[in-house]
Amino acid sequence: MEVKIKRIDKSLPLPEYQTKGSVAFDLYSRIDMEIKPKEIALIPTNLIIQTPPNYMLAVVPRSSTPKKLGLFVPHGIGIIDQDYCGPEDEIHLQVFNFTDNSVNITRGQRIGQAVFVRIDTASWQEIDQIETKTRGGFGSTG
């Protein structure tokens, strides 16, 4: 799949998959920054990506980020829509510093990862009653 991408700072690398089995590519911080304790911050990733039709781009921290840095994404996952690719639409990783210490991010540090996910949109058909069997509701499987 060919994807159009723009780097804001061309001295930072293009994203890459770290292994042949990797499904996500790494995101780097474009700047040095300090994230104060209990603060939400937006880390600029240096990238504007034109997500292909029928895909979304899911942006998440690296699996080691919470343990090593004390940062997590407060809403769980960032979703980059297909039409978020204008000249000012740099992708940011939103993080929350859950520690009691400041966290320093350095320019070029790998701080997140992103994966293309195939999607579809729904065409709604409203009905008055669902006629399929249910499992008994939330938590019904124990």
CA 41 to chain centre: 14
Does 136 score more than 80 pLDDT? no
pTM (predicted TM-score): 0.86
Query: For residue 139, is pLDDT > 80?
Result: no
Q: Work out the mean pLDDT of the chain and round it to a whole number.
A: 93
In the predicted structure, residue 132 carries a pLDDT above the cut 80: no
Q: Tell me the pLDDT band of 65, cut-offs 50, 70 and 90.
A: confident
Q: List, for residues 6-27, the tens digit of each pLDDT value.
A: 999 999 999 999 999 999 999 9
The domains found in the chain, sorted by start residue, are: 4-14+22-118 (2.70.40.10)
pLDDT band at 64 (very low <50, low <70, confident <90, very high): confident
- Residues 89-114 have a mean pLDDT of 96
**Can you tell me the distance from the alpha carbon of 93 to that of 45, in angstroms, rounded to the nearest whole number?**
7
Contact call for residues 87 and 45 (beta carbons, < 8 A): no
Share above pLDDT 90 across residues of the chain, in percent, rounded to a whole number:
82
User: Would you put residue 137 in left (φ > 0), alpha (ψ -120 to 50) or beta?
Assistant: left
Asked whether 91 and 49 are in contact (CB, 8 A), the reply is: yes
